[in-house]
Amino acid sequence: MNSIWRHFTGLIWLAVIVAGVWLALDAITALSLFSLVSLWLVVYHTCKLYALDQWLRNGYPSPAAVPDGAGVWGEVFIRLARFVRRYDKECLHLNISLDRLQRATSAMPEGIVILGEAGQIEWCNLAAEQHLGLNLKMDAGQHITRMVRQAQFVAYLNSGDFNKPLIIKQLRSQDILLSLQLVPYGDREKLLISRDITRFEKIEIMRRDFIANVSHELRTPLTVIGGFLETLLDENRISGKMEKNALELMAHQATRMQRLVEDLLTLSRLENTQNTLCEESVDVVKLLRGLHQEARSLSAGRHVITLNILSDAMVLGSEDELRSAFGNLVSNAVRYTPEGGKISLNWTLEKGKGLFYVQDTGIGIESEYIPRLTERFYRVDRSRSRETGGTGLGLAIVKHVLNRHQASLEIASELGVGSTFRIKFPASRVLPVAPGAAVLSTAASEEAS
């Protein structure tokens, strides 16, 4: 309150003086004095306002450039000078921090591009300029799709799903492979991170080629060995029980190695980026009936196996690959379900998506092991896998096949109760029933004798 009255002290004294002149002399003299003083105050405040305006227009370069003033204006200018000094210090700290951040990101091997809300380039480091062919001075403010003119990247940007990186080849050099991933942050802004994965891809190709070549070279000698062992066993030329057991064990292991080689070759084909997916209309019902018969043969009457078909819908994809994926799930259910257990093969539609699932009353899997089941050669119990003849590659093959078909695998299991393996196909891969075809309204169930 005292501060407010202090600002009006001059006006109060002016009013007192004018009143005294009015009483001592006359009204005209008093009003003339009041007008002159008021005019001087207007000119004074106008000059100070002009000085403040000029200072603001010039960008208030420093506290020393703040205009001088007395009274109220002096206090205002002092506060402005303090504000400018504080602002300059904060700007200095921010500039130092920004410079350190830019130097740190510039030293990173990954390319980093800061994109604005509309996808325009705001900043990028040197690695990003090399990876994407950018020039920050010339391309700042340009939309990223004008600089990275690849349909895959445009579709990735518009999809809004940035959980997985996009692998593309560099425009300037097709020998360089880049991994691009968008990371949303802040208020609808994004970071575009680019990595040169050419070296890792070459190593991966060498690994795949090595496995494929070794597997291919092992196939012929294993076939020969297995053939001769079967011949010796069939002709009953071995009289001793010990020798016969040894031959049977050798034949069993040779067969197991042949399955392992075949699975390795299958994985190599699936991982080969040059091996494009051969798409066709797959009759899932026919495929499952064939797998149902194979499961009954593998079970040899030890299980109750049912086939439940609730839809005639077909799937767009590779029949051979889907047979391999479905077959692995079915054979696993037979292998890991004790005698007398129940196994069901099911095909239906769920909200327009294709759903195939295998349900069994087998030994089950503990929940902690489920996330790693699709890793190659991963086994929950190695001794159990050897007894059942598994190679440890079945679910890895399933995962690769489903990735090629944009499908997903869901696993639910309870130890000692059983397991359910569910394959979901996107609606885009589900083909409608052909006109005139009979649609199944009830479950078609076939039970093993």
Cα separation of 121 and 128, whole Å?
11
CATH class, domain 280-431, is alpha beta
CATH number of 203-271: 1.10.287.130
Topology at the third CATH level for domain 108-196: Beta-Lactamase (3.30.450)
Sheet strand arrangement including 111-115 = 121-124, 111-115, 189-196, 177-185, 166-169
Domain ranges of the chain: 2-100, 108-196, 203-271, 280-431
CA atoms within 13 A on the CB side of 350: 12
User: Which residues are bridge partners to 304 per DSSP?
Assistant: 342
Residues 6 or more apart whose CB falls under 8 angstroms from that of 145 comprise 119, 153, 154, 157
Whether the domain at 203-271 and the domain at 280-431 fall into the same CATH topology: no
Which residues are within 8 A (CB) of 191 and not within 5 positions of it... i.e. 6 or more apart? Answer: 112, 113, 114, 115, 182, 183, 185
Residue 71, token pair as written in the block:
């009274």
**pLDDT tens, residue order, the chain (449 aa):** 455 555 566 667 767 777 777 777 777 877 887 788 778 878 877 887 887 777 777 765 555 567 777 767 777 777 877 887 888 888 888 888 878 877 777 777 788 888 888 888 888 888 888 888 888 888 888 888 888 888 888 888 888 778 888 888 877 776 788 888 888 887 778 888 888 888 887 877 787 777 777 777 777 888 888 887 777 777 666 667 777 788 888 887 888 788 788 877 777 777 776 677 788 899 999 999 999 999 999 888 899 999 999 988 999 999 988 999 999 899 889 988 998 999 999 999 988 899 999 999 988 888 888 888 887 777 766 555 555 556 678 888 889 889 888 899 999 988 888 999 999 999 989 987 654 444 443 344 444 33
